[in-house]
Amino acid sequence: MKDANMTKPCIICVAITGSLPTKENNPAVPITVAEQIESTQEAFEAGATIAHCHVRDDEGKPTSDPERFGRLKEGLEKHCPGMIVQLSTGGRSGAGQTRGGMLPLSPDMASLSVGSNNFPTRVYENPPELVDWLASEMVKYGVKPEIEAFDLSHILKAADMFKKGQIAETPYVQFVMGVKNAMPVDRDVFEYYIKTVHRLFGEDANWCAAGIGAHQITLNDWAVSSGGHARTGLEDNVRIDRDTLAPSNAALVQRVVDLCDKYERPVATWQQAREMLNLKVPAVA
Ligand SMILES: [Zn+2]
């Protein structure tokens, strides 16, 4: 069935900021809300249709401040009409329920981690009661979760939550590979992830993949050539090649557009992306 999925338009997600990269790492990392809106608009024009967003405080540190998320969401809806806004609930491990404080804004989507794992220098904590609470808030506010699969068990946990009604619709899973101390970039595991998603959620189930650092382009290539959707952006990787910093989020999006051309996958328009993910079409656009 892989072939049928290869005719699907490819949804490009741009993870614009994240909670770690700084201006010192790459001056193109957008930190203020105004910078984030400008950077996302360029990425949207380049072909991205989902904006995965974190926000930072005045010192550039990660925050879950609903007011900042609200300003960003409003700016994106105005300057990138139709683009899918996805807010991160994962950026501040250990912060408890404040991680979901922006969900009452009812963004189109929010990221949802359903289990814990190690990160480069710490434990990425997602205790069961917090996962249940975040999922219930998403159901309450009509927010579609994107399941961040740092491990195979996270895909099976999402299936279990779907069966129990904790996730309203067929889970949209993102495979994250290449985080140090979590799942490495491994082609056999990648293939098994795809097989598992199709077994649990159907042969035409949509999925996405992200690779960290230099692995970003590898996972982009694997995802586009395997009928999946692709995530890129400065959150995951600040370089365009070994020696060169990426000039913008848009430049990283362009690399995925080039891969879509190479593998003859159309790049999804925002309308197609919303249709595939069963998201409402905003009246404004
Ligand atoms: Zn993120």
Q: What is the pLDDT of residues 192-215, one digit of tens each?
A: 999 999 999 999 999 999 999 999
Q: Strand 12-15 to strand 229-232: parallel, antiparallel, or no bridges (unpaired)?
A: parallel
Structural domain contains residue 112: yes
What rounded mean pLDDT belongs to the chain?
Answer: 96
Q: Decide: helix, strand or coil at residue 135.
A: helix
Dist. CA 50 → ligand 1 center (Å): 12
**Better pLDDT: 149 or 93:** 149
CA distances from residue 137 to 4, 42, 101, 133 in whole angstroms, order as listed = 34, 31, 9, 6
Expressed in angstroms and rounded, the spacing between residue 163 Cα and the centre of ligand 1 is 26
Q: Does a structural domain hold residue 30?
A: yes
Is 134 a domain residue? Answer: yes
Express each pLDDT in 99-138 by its tens digit: 999 999 999 999 999 999 999 999 999 999 999 999 999 9
CA–centroid distance, 220 to ligand 1, in Å, is 17
Distance 3 CA to ligand 1 centre (A): 30
Number of separate domains in the chain: 1
Residue 156: give its domain's CATH number.
3.20.20.70
pLDDT at 183 over 60: yes
Locate the DSSP E strands across 197-238: 207-211, 229-232
In a domain, 180, yes or no: yes
Residue 2 has pLDDT above 70, yes or no: no
Ligand 1 centroid – CA 227 distance (Å): 23
Ligand 1 centre and the CA of 19: distance in Å?
Answer: 7
DSSP state of 142: T
- Say what percent of the chain tops pLDDT 70: 98
pLDDT at 189: 98
Domain span at residue 237? 2-276
Residues 137-149 as b/e (b if ≥16 CB within 10 A, e otherwise) read bbeeeebbbbbbb
Distance (Å) from CA 253 to ligand 1 centroid: 16
Q: How far is the CA of 52 from the centre of ligand 1 (A)?
A: 6
Residues measured by CB to lie within 5 Å of ligand 1, the ion: 88
Distance 233 CA to ligand 1 centre (A): 10
How many whole angstroms from 177 Cα to the centroid of ligand 1?
13
Is position 281 within any domain? Answer: no
Residue 119 CA to ligand 1 center (angstroms) comes to 13
CA of 213 to the centre of ligand 1 (A): 14
**How far is ligand 1, taken at its centre, from the CA of residue 17, in Å?**
8
**Spatial contact of 229 and 12, defined as CB atoms under 8 Å apart:** yes
Each residue of 68-105: pLDDT tens digit?
Answer: 999 999 999 999 999 999 999 997 767 899 999 999 99
CA of 1 to the centre of ligand 1 (A): 30
| Distances from the Cα of 168 to the Cα of 120, 136, 151, 172, 224, angstroms | 32, 10, 22, 11, 27
In this structure, the strands spanning 172-177 and 55-56 are unpaired
Is the residue at 200 inside a domain?
Answer: yes
Higher confidence at residue 144 or residue 283?
144
Q: How far away, in angstroms, is 148 Cα from ligand 1 center?
A: 9
Q: Rounded to the nearest whole angstrom, what is the distance from the C-alpha of residue 235 to the centroid of ligand 1?
A: 7
Query: Which tokens in the block code for residue 40?
Result: 């996302």
Q: Is residue 284 part of a domain?
A: no
Q: How far is the CA of 91 from the centre of ligand 1 (A)?
A: 6
- Three-state SS across 10-67? ECEEEECCCCCCCCCCCCCCCCCHHHHHHHHHHHHHHCCCEEEECEECCCCCEECCHH
